[in-house]
């Protein structure tokens, strides 16, 4: 298999994969299908979780909670490597066109395949789609409907939330999910590609299959984040089993969350939002949440909108300059959409030139 070609055109393939993945997401969004990869990963982790839930010893619970996450990640990695190697073999063995005659055409085909696989690891368009029925329920004064649809995207009990707290929870979810569902995925994909290129340079072209590390790392992150959403609760039932997943999620999101907050501020500046207030909230209140990461993106959002976000009995974030309104949900998504594009564009350009430089040494 000609991995030399992959090594030579790796920066371009990385760039095209990101662009095509964003295009696919913009066209089809994130259909809620039974065999969605993230759903399958969740089901896999739940299967392992159910096997170890009967363990009572706290230390064993932590141990088994760590082991089932590691096993789940390993199981996800195998098909991703096989898909990439298989598609590379198909494209590189004249199933389409000869590399020598139509190199760019084959690169585009391979990048499209990679982009389609990559797309299912993030959900940018879906972040706006899931808020629409909530907005509609509030507009129709059908709060039970709004609460019902909100329950699909937040952990808290939504059955008794009033209008203001429904809006607050939705804005909070959009802000926090900018990291969980979008920017962290691209961070791991692109940083994974840079790390892979460095490894190939160290071990030479015979180990060029390491260049296929980006997608597995992106899905590794999604598995960690999915596991945290299943067992990452600080209650007697999950405190020990979910300990490792929660810590790994904190570590995985640490840098992306802070970079995302920076780009939220940049988006707010371009959209003429209250940057000074956002900086004040970030400085004074980013650590008021239990999460070491969520306060950054949620605090920046609360400040830009000039509103107060509240999870009853848990935290209050931001000093209100106005009451929460339905339009704040739409504005928050507009900010996050611009934030995501700027984050991805910046990181992709940096990654492209770093890969190009690595290839040249």
pLDDT, one tens digit per residue, over 73-93 is: 999 999 998 898 888 888 877
Rounded mean pLDDT, 177-206: 89
For 249-357, where are the E strands, in sequence order? 309-311, 315-317
Q: Closest by alpha carbon to 300, among 327, 330, 331, 275?
A: 275
Full domain range(s) for residue 136: 3-360
Read off the pLDDT of residues 41-58 as tens digits, 9 standing for 90 and up. 999 999 999 988 888 899
Higher pLDDT pick, 97 / 212: 212
Q: 309 - beta bridge partners? A: 317
168-192 CB burial, b ≥16 within 10 A, e <16: bbbbbbbbbbbbbbbbbbbbbbbbb
How far apart are alpha carbons 100 and 16 in whole angstroms?
A: 20
Q: Look over the chain and give the mean of its residue pLDDT values, rounded to a whole number.
A: 90
CB neighbourhood size of 119 (10 A):
23
Q: For 196-203, which contacts have Cβ atoms below 8 Å and span 24 or more sequence positions? A: 197/10, 197/354, 197/355, 197/358, 197/359, 198/358, 200/7, 201/358, 201/361
Spell out the residues 6+ positions from residue 213 whose beta carbon is closer than 8 angstroms to its own: 192, 193, 195, 196, 199
Specify the 3-state DSSP secondary structure of 153.
coil
Q: Identify the pLDDT of residue 1.
A: 44
CA 292 to chain centre: 17
- In tens, the pLDDT along 239-285 reads 899 999 999 999 999 999 999 999 999 999 999 999 999 999 999 99
pLDDT for residue 165 is more than 90: yes
Strand partners, 310: 316
* Average pLDDT score over residue span 172-198: 95
Structurally, the chain folds into a number of domains equal to 1
pLDDT for the residue numbered 2 = 56
Does the pLDDT of residue 207 top 80, yes or no? no
Q: How big is the chain, counted in residues?
A: 361
| pTM of the model as a whole | 0.93
Mean pLDDT of 220-240: 91
Q: Whole-angstrom Cα distance, residue 174 to residue 127?
A: 7
Dig out the tokens for 93 from the structure: 């063995």
In this predicted structure, what is the pLDDT of residue 307? 96
Determine contact, residues 243/37, Cβ cutoff 8 Å: no
**How far is 148 from 309, CA to CA, in rounded Å?**
20
Q: pLDDT-derived band of residue 219, with 50, 70 and 90 as boundaries?
A: very high
The first and second tokens of residue 221, run together, are 């992150």
Q: Examine the pLDDT at 361 and tell me if it is beyond 60.
A: no
Q: Measuring CA to CA, how many Å separate 341 from each of 190, 264, 291, 306, 334?
A: 14, 11, 25, 23, 11
Report the pLDDT value the prediction gives residue 100, as an integer from 0 to 100. Answer: 52
pLDDT of residue 264: 98
């Amino acid at each position: 298999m000609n991995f030399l070609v992959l090594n030579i055109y790796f920066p371009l393939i990385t760039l095209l994969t990101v662009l095509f993945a964003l295009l696919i997401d913009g066209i089809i969004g994130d259909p809620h299908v039974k065999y969605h990869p993230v759903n399958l990963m969740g089901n896999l982790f739940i299967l392992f979780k159910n096997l170890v839930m009967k363990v009572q010893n706290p230390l064993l619970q932590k141990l088994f909670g760590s082991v089932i996450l590691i096993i789940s990640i390993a199981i996800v990695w195998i098909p991703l490597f096989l898909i990439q190697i298989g598609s590379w073999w198909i494209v590189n063995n004249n199933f389409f066109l000869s590399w020598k005659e139509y190199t760019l055409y084959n690169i585009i085909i391979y990048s499209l395949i990679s982009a389609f696989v990559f797309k299912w690891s993030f959900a940018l368009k879906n972040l706006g789609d899931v808020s629409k029925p909530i907005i509609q329920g509030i507009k129709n004064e059908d709060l039970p409907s709004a609460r019902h649809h909100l329950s699909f995207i937040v952990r808290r009990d939504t059955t008794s939330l009033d209008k203001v707290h429904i809006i607050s929870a939705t804005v909070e979810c959009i802000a926090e999910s900018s990291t969980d569902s979008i920017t962290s995925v691209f961070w791991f994909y692109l940083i994974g590609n840079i790390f892979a290129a460095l490894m190939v340079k160290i071990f030479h072209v015979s180990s060029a299959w390491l260049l296929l590390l980006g997608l597995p790392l992106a899905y590794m992150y999604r598995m960690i984040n999915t596991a945290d959403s299943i067992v990452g609760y600080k209650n007697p039932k999950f405190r020990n089993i979910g300990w490792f997943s929660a810590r790994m999620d904190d570590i995985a999101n640490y840098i992306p969350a802070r970079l995302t907050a920076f780009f939220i501020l940049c988006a707010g500046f371009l959209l003429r939002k209250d940057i000074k207030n956002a900086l004040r909230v970030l400085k004074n209140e980013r650590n008021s949440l239990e999460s070491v990461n969520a306060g950054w993106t949620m605090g920046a959002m609360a400040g830009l909108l000039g509103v107060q976000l509240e999870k009853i009995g848990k935290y209050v974030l931001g000093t209100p300059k106005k009451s929460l309104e339905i339009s704040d949900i739409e504005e928050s998504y507009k900010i996050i959409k611009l934030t995501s594009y700027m984050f991805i564009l910046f990181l992709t350009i940096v990654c492209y030139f770093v890969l190009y430089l690595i290839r040249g040494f």
